[in-house]
Amino acid sequence: MKIASWNVNSLKARLPNVLAWLEAAQPDVVCLQEIKCQTADFPRLEIESAGYEAHVLGQKSYNGVALLSRQPIEDVLYGLPGDPADEQARYVEGTVAGVRIASLYLPNGNPVGTEKYPYKLAWMDRLYHHARGLLATEQPFVLAGDYNICPTDDDVYDPVGWREDALCRPESRAKFRSLLNLGLTEAYRLFHDEPHRYSFWDYQAGRWYRDEGLRIDHFLLSPRASDRAQGCEIDKEPRGREKASDHTPVVLDLA
């Protein structure tokens, strides 16, 4: 089963690119982030015509996540539990062929020093508690998405310049490590130890052209899911296209 994660930075603006990539890459499951549309405005006909069932948690202008699958999706959970007052659309989870799969868009957290940073850290605490609950079910699971975390300095083109950024701050990285310390595995690093492999390049200042990016899109696997992992690749092709998202898809291959 090929599971993809892609922050598309507006599904409406990206629809031709997304449809072309689905046709070329043929993923079985797709976790989308930053669709930037309300659930009612999701391009359901086009996505279903491409062969996918879609479960969507939308939001006007900002955020918004979706879980697409060629096989049926069961027991869908909309929103990350733990804060009923949180109205930001950042989490959707469902079961495909016995595997629990989440599409998540973790808060960016910048600027540090505003309420955005504690919101990010609190969201990570909620994810930690939710992951603990999932582990207790003993069902294999995959938490896929834009984590807005560079796990180590090897995942940043300029670690010194980014040291104080919410994506690289020690508190953010510590909470990411706490997820790993639960027993979860970050899939890309199972298969690749080379530094400076990125999933995001800012639109500004020629970052893509100079390959100055960040690796912030990740798959966290439960022990039983990691036993089934057969590969994890960053597909850079979509980032080089016209009208590209600033993120490119990452694909996990699960037996």
Point out which residues bind DNA (CB under 7 A). 9-10, 12-14, 36, 60-62, 107-108, 110, 116, 202-205, 243
Nearer to DNA, 36 or 70 (CB): 36
Does the annotation count 146 as an active-site position? Answer: yes
H helix runs in the chain, sequence order: 11-25, 44-49, 116-137, 170-181, 188-191, 223-226
Nearer to DNA, 1 or 37 (CB): 37
Nearer to DNA, 191 or 203 (CB): 203
Handedness of CA 132, 135, 137, 143 (dihedral sign): positive
Burial class (CB in 10 A: 0-12, 13-18, 19+), 194: exposed
Does the annotation count 55 as an active-site position? Answer: no
Annotated binding site: 7, 34, 146, 148, 246-247
Give the strand pairing for 217-221 and 185-186.
antiparallel
Note the residue count of the chain: 255
- Residues whose CB is less than 8 angstroms from the CB of residue 106 and which lie 6 or more positions away in sequence, other chains included: 90, 120, 123, 124, 127, 145, 146, 147, 148, 149
Give the strand pairing for 29-33 and 250-254.
unpaired
Annotated binding site for Mg(2+): 7, 34, 146, 148, 246-247
Nearest distance from C-beta of residue 191 to DNA, angstroms: 26
Phi and psi of 139, rounded to 5°? -85, 140
Nearer to DNA, 31 or 254 (CB): 31
Catalytic entry in 52, 105, 147, 157: 105
Does the annotation count 130 as an active-site position? Answer: no
Catalytic entry in 28, 146, 155, 165: 146
Phi and psi of 144, rounded to 5°? -115, 145
Describe the chain by its helix, strand, coil percentages, rounded to 5: 30, 25, 45
Catalytic residues: 105, 146, 247
